[in-house]
Structure 1
């Protein structure tokens, strides 16, 4: 039928995402995407108009899943463990693959050919949403009782730290080093749990 897509859109967008993630936005051509997806360039243009729109469609699915996984990681009832799980999730994501694939958001943010306003807005939206869910988790009583700075500030520091973690991963290729640094930040943000004195002490 005219106007009906003759390909599996989810599978196509998954392959589009993988291609952008591996090659970077600027280095990826429509022909690269056609080859990766097995969908002719003409069909991709008809369905999505241009490379930027195709990237945005693929990125939206990635962002939704990334945010959902972050919320799940932060769901631990202990604030310290919630932050450790959050960092473990982000580090595992960026160190997956051989060679490691890095962080799609940061890779795109530093790509001079990905400077379109729609792309920048999509990147800001994901980071803002991550900061929001972190702030919500750090605003719970178990966290506020230990935080040395307000939850909003702590959330922004953590998000900024994850961006720096991406760079250090590129340089050192050492997940244990990244987790160690994340642990140091958590220790700096959370005061030690007070030791409760027993009867007669």
Structure 2
């Protein structure tokens, strides 16, 4: 019977976490295959076998990042009032953007701001990912309007977009070195726009 190949000599989850950090620090375009394989502690054939090409690896990295590093966004949607949803999301976001054990800023913002040789596939993928989060927030805020938690006439889609603009703006500022307390001061001002 033919052998099925050697078992992997590395932990795929750990390797993916290391790839996340490289993409986060350098963006998709700024990250080379050598950067990735060195950080992941594997060779190119192992990387391709486990994760596919660079784009597939990046998509998997963003999915893992969303599941782990952005779990706070899903948790915020469970808050009982719209104001608490928005506040929990923006405060947890400010904290996440400035974690000492992670690069400053946000992988989904920094990972694809610059267009590149992929004809915009990565930038579109990241934009769609961010818009999915915005839609989930808009759906939750729509429920708040329907339940009378937000005043009638509140535009939940515009409010969700505003919250995401604050979040994404804070991500850009965090990447530039703005500290946690300054980001929370921005959140304080942003919360004034939330009825209730």
TM-score bracket, normalised by the shorter chain, equals 0.7 to 0.9
Q: 1:70 aligns with which of 70, 73, 92?
A: 73
The change in CA–CA distance for 1:75 and 1:49 in structure 2 (over 3 A counts) is: closer
Determine the structure 1 residue equivalent to 2:105: 102
Q: 1:23 aligns with which of 13, 26, 29?
A: 26
Alignment partners' CA distance in 1, 2:95 and 2:117: 25
Deviations 1:97-143 (A, max 9, x none): 36852111111232333754431232123212211221122122254
Q: Are the counterparts in 1 of residues 82 and 141 from structure 2 also a CA contact under 8 Å? A: yes
The unaligned stretches of length 5 or more in structure 2 are none
- Higher RCO structure, 1 or 2 (CA under 8 Å, sep 6+): 2
Alignment partners' CA distance in 2, 1:127 and 1:114: 21
Alignment partners' CA distance in 1, 2:167 and 2:153: 19
Compute the displacement of 1:49 (Å).
4.0
The change in CA–CA distance for 1:172 and 1:21 in structure 2 (over 3 A counts) is: closer
1:42 aligns with 2:45: yes
Deviations 1:49-107 (A, max 9, x none): 42222111211222234554312023221322221110011111111136852111111
Bigger radius of gyration, 1 or 2? 1
Alignment partners' CA distance in 1, 2:9 and 2:103: 33
Compute the displacement of 1:39 (Å).
1.0
Alignment partners' CA distance in 1, 2:102 and 2:19: 18
Determine the structure 1 residue equivalent to 2:157: 152
The unaligned stretches of length 5 or more in structure 1 are 193-201
Q: Are the counterparts in 2 of residues 63 and 126 from structure 1 also a CA contact under 8 Å? A: no
Determine the structure 1 residue equivalent to 2:123: 120
Q: How does 1:180-191 map to 2 (within 5 A)?
A: 180-190=185-195
RMSD: 2.6
Q: What secondary structure does 1:188 align onto? A: coil
Q: Are the counterparts in 1 of residues 76 and 85 from structure 2 also a CA contact under 8 Å? A: yes
Q: How does 1:45-60 map to 2 (within 5 A)?
A: 45-60=48-63
